[in-house]
C-alpha cells in the first residue's frame, strides 16, 4: 500500500489530501490521464475531473509538467486520485489573494446584473460588484430608489469591461467582492492634491437629483453641488438653474474625506451684502409669496433675498393660506434682519 510504503521510508513531507503538487504527464487514455508524482507514485485524473480539462490535457505531451490537487492518496486501483480543475482554482485563489494584498487592479467583463449590483467572473470564479462599490460615474442615480429602474440602469453594463480591485474574498465560501469605487477613490485622491478650497473649476454637470447636482472636473473628479449652493434664492428644483451636460464654473467650498463640495452661488454676487443698509426694521416692503412650509411662508423681497412670515402671525396654517396665495405680491413689515444668517422676519400688513 502506498501510505504504508511512505511511512516505512519515514518521509516527513508526505503530501496530504487537498494539497496541490507538481507532476509530469506519464500517459493518457481515452478517459484518463496519468501523472508521475515521483516517489509518491502515479496519479490519475479520470471521470468528470478528466472531461473538465480534456481539451487542456490534449495539448500536453508525456513529460510535460502539470499541477494537480490530491483528492485521495490511494484509490481502489492504487493510484493517487488527482484533480487538475481544482488545482487551477487553488492557483487562481492564490493569485487573487496576492492581488488583493498588493491592491492591484484587474479587468473583468460584466456578464449579469441584479438589483444589488453587477455579476462577473474573475479567473473563472463568480464575483460580485455591489452598487455601492461602483464609481460615481457608473453609480445608478435613480430618484426615489425604484428597484426596477435601478436594475434597468445596471443592465446597461452587461458585456462591458470594468477595472476593479478585490475588496474581499473567501475561498471557503467561493465568494469574491469587487470594487470599482476603491480604485476611483485613490485616483481621485491623487488628482485632488492639485486643488484646494477656494479654487474655481470648470466642469460638466453629469447628473441632477432632487438634492443637487454632480459636476465632473479635472482628471475625472466628481463633486457634489447641493441645492442650497445653486443660487442665493430659494431653489425647489435644481433643473431650474442648471441642465445635465452643461458646462459650468463652480467654486470648491470644501474637500473632506476624498469628497468635493462645490458652489455655484459663491461665484454670484451676494444679494445679502450691505442688505442692512438698504432695509431697516420697521420698513414696509412688497414681497411675493414663493412657498408654504410647516412653520410659515417664504416671501421674496428682491431676487435672491427671501424672508419668512412665521405661521404664528396667522395662528394656523389654514388661516395663513386664507390670507396669502403663492405667486401673489403683498405688503410686509420687516420685524428683524440678520444679514449674517440671511434671515428676514416679516409680518403681513393688512
Rounded alpha-carbon distances, angstroms, from residue 14 to 17, 21, 24, 45, 65: 10, 11, 18, 20, 20
Neighbouring residues of 106: CB distance < 8 A, sequence distance ≥ 6: 99, 122, 163, 164, 165, 166
Separation of alpha carbons 350 and 324, rounded Å: 11
Q: What is the dihedral of CA 48, 49, 53, 57, to 10 degrees?
A: -120
The answer to whether the Cα torsion of 102, 103, 109, 112 is positive or negative is positive
Quote the pLDDT of residue 12: 47
Beta-bridge partner residues of 292: 297
Class of domain 275-348: mainly beta
Span 176-219, pLDDT tens digits: 999 988 877 777 777 788 899 999 999 999 988 888 999 999 88
Beta-bridge partner residues of 27: 34
322, with CB counted inside 10 A (0-12, 13-18, 19+), is exposed
Span 260-309, pLDDT tens digits: 999 999 998 888 888 888 899 999 999 999 989 889 999 999 888 889 99
Quote the pLDDT of residue 104: 86
Level-2 CATH architecture, domain 195-267: Beta Barrel (2.40)
Helices (H), 266-333: 275-278, 317-323
Q: Within the chain, which residue ranges are assigned CATH 2.40.50.140?
A: 2-89, 103-185, 195-267, 275-348
Quote the pLDDT of residue 4: 56
Separation of alpha carbons 155 and 114, rounded Å: 8
| Domain spanning 103-185: CATH superfamily | Nucleic acid-binding proteins (2.40.50.140)
Element of type H or E holding 305: strand 305-310
Neighbouring residues of 325: CB distance < 8 A, sequence distance ≥ 6: 289
In CATH, which of 2.40.420.20, 2.40.50.140, 1.10.10.10, 3.40.50.300 is domain 2-89?
2.40.50.140
Which residues in the chain come in under a pLDDT of 50?
A: 1, 10, 12
Separation of alpha carbons 144 and 127, rounded Å: 28
Quote the pLDDT of residue 173: 80
Separation of alpha carbons 293 and 258, rounded Å: 35
Amino acid at each position: 500500500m502506498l501510505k504504508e510504503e511512505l511511512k516505512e521510508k519515514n518521509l516527513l513531507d508526505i503530501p496530504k489530501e487537498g494539497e496541490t503538487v507538481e507532476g509530469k504527464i506519464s500517459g493518457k487514455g481515452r478517459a484518463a490521464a496519468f501523472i508521475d508524482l515521483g516517489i509518491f507514485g502515479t496519479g490519475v485524473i479520470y471521470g468528470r475531473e478528466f472531461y473538465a480539462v480534456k481539451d487542456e490535457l490534449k495539448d500536453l505531451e508525456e513529460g510535460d509538467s502539470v499541477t494537480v490537487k490530491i483528492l485521495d492518496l490511494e484509490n481502489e486501483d492504487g493510484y493517487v486520485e488527482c484533480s487538475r480543475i481544482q488545482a487551477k482554482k487553488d492557483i487562481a485563489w492564490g493569485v487573487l489573494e496576492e492581488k488583493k494584498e498588493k491592491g492591484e487592479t484587474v479587468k473583468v467583463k460584466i456578464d449579469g446584473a441584479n438589483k444589488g449590483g453587477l455579476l462577473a467572473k474573475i479567473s473563472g470564479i463568480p464575483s460580485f460588484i455591489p452598487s455601492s462599490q461602483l464609481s460615481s460615474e457608473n453609480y445608478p442615480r435613480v430618484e426615489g430608489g425604484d428597484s426596477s429602474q435601478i436594475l434597468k440602469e445596471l443592465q446597461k453594463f452587461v458585456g462591458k469591461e470594468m477595472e476593479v480591485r478585490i475588496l474581499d474574498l473567501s475561498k471557503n465560501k467561493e465568494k469574491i467582492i469587487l470594487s470599482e469605487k476603491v480604485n476611483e477613490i485613490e485616483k481621485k485622491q491623487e488628482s485632488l492634491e492639485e486643488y484646494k478650497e477656494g479654487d474655481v473649476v470648470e466642469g460638466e454637470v453629469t447628473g441632477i437629483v432632487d438634492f443637487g447636482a454632480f459636476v465632473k472636473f479635472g482628471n475625472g473628479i466628481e463633486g457634489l453641488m447641493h441645492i442650497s449652493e445653486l443660487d442665493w434664492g430659494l431653489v425647489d428644483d435644481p433643473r431650474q438653474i442648471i441642465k445635465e451636460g452643461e458646462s459650468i464654473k463652480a467654486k470648491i467650498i470644501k474637500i473632506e474625506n476624498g469628497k468635493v463640495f462645490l458652489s455655484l452661488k459663491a461665484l454670484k454676487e451676494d444679494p445679502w451684502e450691505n442688505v442692512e443698509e438698504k432695509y431697516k426694521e420697521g420698513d414696509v416692503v412688497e414681497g411675493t409669496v414663493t412657498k408654504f412650509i410647516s412653520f410659515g411662508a417664504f416671501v421674496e423681497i428682491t431676487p435672491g433675498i427671501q424672508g419668512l412670515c412665521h405661521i404664528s402671525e396667522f395662528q394656523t396654517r389654514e388661516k395663513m393660506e386664507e390670507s396669502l396665495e403663492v405667486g401673489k405680491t403683498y405688503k410686509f413689515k420687516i420685524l428683524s434682519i440678520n444679514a449674517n444668517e440671511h434671515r428676514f422676519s416679516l409680518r403681513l400688513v393688512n
